[in-house]
Structure 1
Amino acid sequence: MYRVLIVDDEPVIRNGISAFIDWEEEGMTVEDHYANGVEALSALESCSFDILITDIKMPLMDGIQLMKQALALCPSLKVILISNYSDFEYVKEGLKLGAVDYLLKLTLKREELLAVLRRTISMLEEERRRDSELNHYQEGALYLDRKRFEQEIKRYIVQEQTFPESTVWDPAWLEESYACVYLMLDAAEEWRENYGYLYVQLLLEELQEAFYKQMREGSALLVAESSLFIIFPDLEGEVEQQLNQWKLQLEAKWGISTSIGFAKEQGVHRILKGYAESSLACQRRFFEGLGGLYRRSESESNHVQTLTDIEPNPDWTPFFEMIHKGDPASSAIDFALERWKSGILNPGQVQLEASRLLTGVYQSHADAGALVSERYELLFRKTETLEQLASFMISELEEMGKPYIPKLSDNGYGGQLITKALEYIANHFTENLTLQSVADIVHLSKSYFSLLFKKQTERNFIDYLIELRIREAKRLLAQNDSRIYDVAGAAGFKDVKYFSKVFKKITGLTPVEYRESMK
């Protein structure tokens, strides 16, 4: 039986998780559950639990702190996080530390929890099987030494502590030059979607085993859900060439793409620095593309980024103005890319800023809640490079650029009528709409509808209609070389001269000038 510990400060969540599953039937037992991390850590000191299910936000000690200290006590422990959307930055940290997965409190279903638990058990069983088989290798003693050293490295990385001068297994080559390598599986999320989490986990373990079979000295450990940290002696001073050759062999054998960051260090006490340097080097894949071999330059290594290096609240007014005016999404993204390509932010910070920008756009929509919750996670998990992030955002913003229903402050009867009117306008704005024709749709008098529309949208009916038509004209001008007359008609303007005057009044450019500016 696998022993499970549940930690959450809300009794209803703890009891709900306990009641969700027929634990005995699944080969598990829930023997304890606690309201905070401090109590749970005391129970974990015996290291007799196999699975930890923990909330992130808790009093006294949060779930991330608990996870760090629990893994330091028992590196083989498997952790499942439960959280809210507002905890996503903590969730990312937990996944980097090696959490199996995370589940959302507000939408937690028995089937989802059961699937994650079964996957966790499969991982535990596979680790036990693999450890058992490797113990029978001819060089089993050497493997066990490596494994102990691997666990010790992992413990110090998790605790972010400097290595002592002596360790459980302190090979002589650590006192000479050695390579620190951070390897990431490219397109890991796509692999998970197509083949499952367990497949990716087993693939990484295959890579780990391949390293041990090929390299008589060194260690390899899983440090995140799609990454390995490897150290080995730099015997001939040709680490880059050796890594390139090994990388090509791995990719050819398993049909994968990998990105590798590396650094050189000397002395066991420098392992933690080597881990940080190689991890930071691998982050360059976000800016330079997947599949590369990266090394931190000396200037990068000497520069320690502080909060003062980063402008905390940049002026994004031009970005939102371009979106509001209906300019091509690529123009707004180009504005953002000027900041992001500068290198003052790391990939996570860029993704966070991108999510905030999209949230600002989402929140102008009536269905903002659904949009944010559905797309926010996708941005973090599927944009491994800046190019992918830019494409993702352009796609999202173009979707937002279509006629939409603006968010109204009043959800009462009046708000419902205007929402219905806005839906009708969004579907028919290129047609011959009038104030009277739309008022008839919602069964209101022309005068009352006019007053209610302005109160709800803070715009006159005709101004709103012209705004939609100009946005459509911008889209058409940026996408094709149709005649201005045809663009005007397709956008809902019957008089091309009137269209040209209105367009220049709103944008400051003639339709022809605007088209040229978009090339």
Structure 2
Amino acid sequence: MYRVLLVDDEPLARMGLRETFDWEGSGYRVVGEASNGRSALPWIERGEVDILITDIAMPVMDGMELMRQVRESFPSVKIILLSCHSDFAYVREGIRMGATDYLLKPTMQPTDLKEVLDKARSQAEEERRIRDLVEHREQVRRREELEKAFARLLLGEGTEESAAVEPPWLASGYRAVVAELDGAARLRSEEGGIYTEILMEELQESFYEEYGGEGIALRVGAEQLILVLKSTDGLERLQAKAAERGCTLTLGVSGPAAGAVDFRRAVREGREAARLRFYEGPGAVRPYRAEPGGGGAPQSGRGAKEPQEALLAALEAQTAGGRAEEAASLLDELAALWSEQRPSPAEVKRQARGLLAALRRPADAGSEAAERIEALQGMESLEEVRLLLQEALRSLQEPGEPAAVPEDAGLHRRIVSQALQYLGANYTRNISLQDVADHVAVSRNYFSELFKKVTGQNFIDHLIHLRLEHACGLLRTTTLRVYEVAELSGFNDVKYFSKAFKKVMKVSPADYREKRPSAGEEGT
């Protein structure tokens, strides 16, 4: 409700204004009355006034001087002048100085007052909108400047640049928190890379909403944020924001750091702590522990690798000799050694790839082996890797099948071509990766890998681009509302549609429609 101050040296005039208009019902509240400009100023100085209605001719301080002082010191206050016919020269001067409008006291009606008040309110709302937009853009500019400086610092560059923009709170102490998106491979496969990017942008924005000006959030890769913050209070709320979006975050928290000089060390500690997800599970806040066996550096030197390499060689020998029970026992022993020594996830996966190659049957030249290798890359826990290797070992013990003819590139292209035809006819329907894989009679994981190999694009992202192209056509050629365009293009959520559209097209659906590009300009 907008607050109004009435200023007039005539008590009857003030009473008439107050009593003949439904202030509350019209969305306004009279906060006070004053008989001259000087007595009106305290209300304005206390920030209690949005709209000032003032007479021009008054003793002590007239309306023109009051207006001059208010415009100079409190420009957001809207001013409406009250005048008689003889004051019209002053009215013109007042309008020139920035008054919203004026009212003639002898002929003023309640409808006139409402019209002018609503005009003042509209001006105030528009100015506030512009002011908020300018302030937001300035915040974003400063934020991006900081992010770029610290991204360069992370690469070992720009020390002087980062010092120039270093926020004051950084010198007094901070923590680096590495936020890893859990289940990222599954999300990319099921929802697409565009969805994952939007999700990480939303989480980055949630961080800034939580920490305001005392935090920095860097996007690193597709599924990681590096957070720099003065206090770790509020990390649980950030995880809650992720849960609202149907995902979880593992947060690795560094030890104390101070100044830009400690930044790379703090990030390294945060990453080492976050890496414990591979051994201890996702979705937790994990502080860095420097002591051996803690969240510090894993044992990955040559001395640590030698027992692992020896077990790998023995396991491969048992597999080649057909000694399944001995091989299974050695696999359990290797998994226990990994768990104890905690090499990096990349090292575990390197060794696991070698084992998968050793465990592959000669007949298994196609989809099954490829699926396992593809699945291994996205695994986030040691238990997942162990189960995958156990599955490969069990499949080796099953009766052999006739050697398969290796799949050629022509067959791959035919499968994907058939899938693209199906997509072209059905992309506006609620179809999934599994639906298309069933249509071309291959497994879901194998089709996902094959589609990306042939087209160079994730299946879901390709589907989203098809839908966005269709949406562009509807926006150009129809007057359908945005939510109707989203629904007819295959999107169930108009909010996600708008974000995906802006992510790919670089403009909102409404702005795209307004610009109405020609067919040659619309590429996605």
- TM class by shorter-chain length? 0.3 to 0.5
* Length-normalised TM-score, structure 1: 0.47
* Length-normalised TM-score, structure 2: 0.47
